[in-house]
Amino acid sequence: MSVYNHKNVEAKWQKTWAENDQYKTNTLDNSKPNYYTLEMFPYPSGKIHMGHVRNYSIGDVVARFKKMEGYNVLHPMGWDSFGLPAENAAIKHGIHPHKWTMENIEDMKGQLKLLGLSYDWDREVATSTPEYYKFTQEIFLKFLEHGLAYKKKSFVNWCPSCETVLANEQVVQGQCERCDSVVIKKDLEQWYFKTTHYAEELLQDLNTLDGWPDKVKLMQKNWIGKSTGAEIVFDIDGTDRSMTVFTTRPDTVHGVTYMVLAPEHDLVKDLVAGTEYEADVEKFVAKMHTMTEIERTSTDVEKEGMFIGKYVVNPLTGEKAPIWIANYVLADYGTGAIMAVPAHDERDREFAEKYNLEILPVIDEENKMINSGEFNGMDASEAFNKIIEKIEEMKIGKKTVNYRLRDWLLSRQRYWGCPIPVVYCDDCGVVPEKKENLPVLLPTDVEFTGKGESPLTTSKEFMTTACPCCGKPARREVDTMDTFVDSSWYFLRYIDPKNTENIFDSEVVNKWMPVDQYIGGVEHAIMHLLYSRFFVKAFNDMGLVDFKEPFKNLLTQGMVLKEGTKMSKSKGNVVSPLEIIEEFGADTARLFVLFAAPPERDLDWSEQGVEGCYRFLNRVYRLVDELADIAKDDCTIGELTKEDKAMRYTIHATLKKVTEDLSEKFGFNTAISALMELINEMYKYKELDNRNNAVIKEGIETIVTILAPFTPHMGEELWTMIGKEGSVFDISWPKYDETALVKDEVEVVVQVNGKVRGKLTVGANVSREEMESLAMADEKIKALVDGKTVIKVIAVPKKLVNIVVK
């Protein structure tokens, strides 16, 4: 009997797959239905981790199963290869980011191939290559042309450690999501994408995403943050200026006792200029820039503010209200100004009590309006609409909707990112580069200083160019794009990766999109997933695509933990996939991460679990090796014994279970568990003297076929061992036999007064009357009911008999 040598088997089949272009996809083939499965592509850090193994193993099972189901499967892989680590490596080790990145890509690609993943490597993309970022730049120009890209000066999130601007989505609890440094505010001119243009569509279309986890949809809904209310204009007393506030409670406008501007609000400087308040306000604003948004808006942080010497006039009451600036109002939410109603808002009340400001209630305990002039006595919900009607009639405001979602700040003061294709001309202003001049290439003659200014400023050759409009000397934009821009459209490029003329062929893309199954971490819910949806909606409006959502179904897999905590170098609890592959094989690693927990849950690493999976695969190998000659024979089933029928039932019940688990709910763990039970039953059955070789053959072929998507190397090896030609992945997924799932006999439970007292084996089609008779005739049951009065007997066919006595 041969021994399973995972190293030889896996090397052999990886070589065979590569030589035969086993996983190459023809996207123009119309003979089969299309199925696009995709895992989020990785940043090429140099080494894969167990999270990669889990993510990509899940996607690979889906891809292989769908191929065997008869689909034309697209399953590509590439690299999200722009980013800060490459630039930091350049600063630290003196190696150019491109060289560092490409070396890491080759290393990681080799590691992924060791896992036996069914990728079409001919479709590989790397976002940092000119062939790719040429089209990222073209997309930017299209956004600019359609009014979806613009530049403005504003206070932005600044990470002092990474020395670059961060989008709101990249700030987590006031800290940089990459390095955990405290984020501060800086007043800079930056490029933005107009994500707010699609706020309502992004929100409403969440309702169409039935294949997405509810938690991800809720996270996006909360991030978009729709609120309905009114904008109201308050004139500033003694000036020709006014301020607009957004409020979700227009019914409380009569209770306004002060107004608050965000310290960064454009009005603040103008209102205090040349006054006694100017110096103190400047100090206060500077202090606010050292506080994070979380600190400023936290209910636990003391409210701080300052009166700036001006008043507004309440348009509905004519009363004056002082204008303050305060830490708890943010410039980029709503209008950056609020009307404060301390009687009906907790934050406003805390502030008013601290600074001895008036508190005027306008709604009583019965939700009726008070101190509100003509609206007194109304229910507050009625007053909400009536007051909006009033301000619209007075032309001092309107009903409106506000969103928490902000426009996407995409400028980065880094080198290793996609150059922004615009130039600055003294005569023409901001000028987009011509399409025929793309890509605007990253220069190689730069200095990596680690300072806050973009390294591109150190390249004279890059900085100096000609204006595409007038031809006079001009300066290039030196900021690069946020790397999330690159990953917001890569799934479209995979479909048409060799196209040198266009971003993609719309006709081909429309045939394959949206992605049927997308797989990745929930941590991307409000960045990558939201940005990708924004891109697709913009492309749809531009006529580039005919769909509005990028991902039909989404699976967010859990993390891989060790002893309950996330694996990390700092904790010293990292498990190397390469070491596991070396010792136990890729198929064992795959099987463990698929079996140890449902895919959406966190998985706790277990050495014993890995060893158990390795033993199981060896057991499968020995079983097939022992019975291979029988599996090669032509056998006819003939007359079936009770044992044969029981074995066939297990075979087809397992086939049905695995098929349903892979088709409907990605129950990889329960599918593998069923396979393990089938192996146990096959070991018992083969020892029977009267075993049926045709049943053996059927069982072995079924095992090999349905195990293959989980452990592809072993699947191919066992397929060959039982005399089959070609790849196991080129055959059709087997169909279970319904007749084999019909049992001749069933086991029924016998209860006395609702308590289980015994079991009976009866014919599958036995009548209720026969079930009752058999139960009453059972010796054990007879002893229990002897001398008692039988009140009634309840029989449920194929399930139970309950005898009620007293």
CATH of the domain at 760: 3.10.20.590
Closest CA to 13 of 51, 53, 64: 64
Rounded distance, CA 61 to CA 118, Å?
Answer: 9
What pLDDT score was predicted for residue 156? 80
One domain, residues 261 and 391: yes
Tell me if 129 is assigned to some domain: no
Mean pLDDT of 590-617: 96
Among 517-531, 686-700, 781-795, name the one with the lowest average pLDDT.
781-795
What pLDDT score was predicted for residue 155? 78
Domain termination site, one of 484, 517, 545: 484
CATH number at residue 234: 3.90.740.10
One domain, residues 336 and 254: yes
| Residue 521 token pair | 């971490």
Answer yes or no: are the C-beta atoms of 73 and 25 closer than 8 Å: yes
Residue-wise pLDDT for 225-234, tens only, equals 999 999 999 9
Tell me if 273 is assigned to some domain: yes
Find tokens 């924004």 and name the residue: 534
What pLDDT score was predicted for residue 452? 66
One domain, residues 360 and 250: yes
Rounded distance, CA 774 to CA 755, Å?
Answer: 18
Backbone angles phi, psi at 801, to 5 degrees: -125, 130
No. of helices (H) and no. of strands (E), the chain: 26, 30
* DSSP state letters, 40-104: PPPP--SS--HHHHHHHHHHHHHHHHHHHTT-EEE----B---SHHHHHHHHHH---HHHHHHHH
Rounded distance, CA 38 to CA 554, Å?
Answer: 10
Domain termination site, one of 344, 372, 403: 403
Rounded distance, CA 397 to CA 233, Å?
Answer: 6
What pLDDT score was predicted for residue 473? 96
The answer for residues whose C-beta is within 8 angstroms of residue 258's C-beta and 6 or more apart is: 321, 322, 323, 324, 340, 342, 352, 357, 358
Backbone angles phi, psi at 600, to 5 degrees: -80, -5
| Residue 716 token pair | 């191919």
Q: Is the pLDDT of residue 777 over 90?
A: no
Give, in order, the Cα–Cα distances in Å from 180 to each of 172, 287, 514.
8, 21, 35
Rounded distance, CA 46 to CA 627, Å?
Answer: 43
The answer for residues whose C-beta is within 8 angstroms of residue 81's C-beta and 6 or more apart is: 43, 44, 101, 105, 126, 127, 128, 129
One domain, residues 399 and 416: no
Rounded distance, CA 302 to CA 281, Å?
Answer: 18
What pLDDT score was predicted for residue 1? 66
Mean pLDDT of 391-418: 95
Backbone angles phi, psi at 613, to 5 degrees: -65, -35
In degrees, to the nearest 5, what angle opens at C-alpha 162 toward C-alphas 158 and 166? Answer: 40
Rounded distance, CA 323 to CA 671, Å?
Answer: 65
Residue-wise pLDDT for 610-629, tens only, equals 999 999 999 999 999 999 99
Q: Is the pLDDT of residue 795 over 80?
A: yes
CA atoms within 13 A on the CB side of 144: 17
140: how many CB neighbours lie within 10 A of its CB? 26
What pLDDT score was predicted for residue 62? 98
| Residue 431 token pair | 């000028």
Sign of the C-alpha dihedral, residues 591, 595, 599, 601? negative
Among 351-360, 378-387, 441-450, name the one with the lowest average pLDDT.
441-450
In degrees, to the nearest 5, what angle opens at C-alpha 66 toward C-alphas 65 and 71? Answer: 145
One domain, residues 398 and 417: no
Give, in order, the Cα–Cα distances in Å from 657 to each of 352, 654, 712.
64, 5, 19
Helix (H, G, I), strand (E, B) or coil at 594: helix
What pLDDT score was predicted for residue 451? 66
Tell me if 30 is assigned to some domain: no
Confidence of residue 43 (pLDDT cuts 50, 70, 90): very high
What pLDDT score was predicted for residue 207? 98
One domain, residues 432 and 303: no
| Residue 314 token pair | 């309440």
Q: Which residue has the higher pLDDT, 205 or 744?
A: 205
Tell me if 548 is assigned to some domain: no
Answer yes or no: are the C-beta atoms of 478 and 459 closer than 8 Å: no
One domain, residues 302 and 420: no
Rounded distance, CA 523 to CA 219, Å?
Answer: 10
Tell me if 233 is assigned to some domain: yes
Mean pLDDT of 583-602: 97
What pLDDT score was predicted for residue 450? 65
What pLDDT score was predicted for residue 233? 98
Mean pLDDT of 263-289: 93
Find tokens 């999330």 and name the residue: 484
In single-letter form, the type of residue at position 149 comes to A
Confidence of residue 602 (pLDDT cuts 50, 70, 90): very high
Tell me if 595 is assigned to some domain: no
What pLDDT score was predicted for residue 695? 97
One domain, residues 440 and 380: no
Note the helical H segments in 442-489. 460-463, 483-486
Answer yes or no: are the C-beta atoms of 355 and 327 closer than 8 Å: no
Tell me if 99 is assigned to some domain: no
In single-letter form, the type of residue at position 64 comes to R
One domain, residues 165 and 294: no
Domain termination site, one of 348, 372, 403: 403
One domain, residues 375 and 272: yes
Answer yes or no: are the C-beta atoms of 520 and 171 closer than 8 Å: no
Tell me if 682 is assigned to some domain: no
Rounded distance, CA 95 to CA 82, Å?
Answer: 15
Q: Count how many domains the chain has.
A: 3
Mean pLDDT of 324-347: 92
One domain, residues 394 and 415: no
Predicted TM-score of the model (pTM): 0.89
Find tokens 């699976």 and name the residue: 555
Rounded distance, CA 610 to CA 599, Å?
Answer: 17
Rounded distance, CA 401 to CA 45, Å?
Answer: 43
Provide the residue range defining the domain that includes 188: 137-194+411-484
- Residue 702: which region, alpha, beta or left (left: phi > 0; alpha: psi -120 to 50)? alpha
| Burial class of residue 110 (count of CB atoms within 10 Å of its CB; 0-12, 13-18, 19+) | exposed
| Residue 411 token pair | 């400028």
One domain, residues 284 and 384: yes
Residue-wise pLDDT for 534-577, tens only, equals 999 999 999 999 999 999 999 999 999 988 888 877 777 889 99
Mean pLDDT of 265-292: 91
State the DSSP code for 689.
Answer: T
The answer for residues whose C-beta is within 8 angstroms of residue 400's C-beta and 6 or more apart is: 228, 229, 230, 231, 246
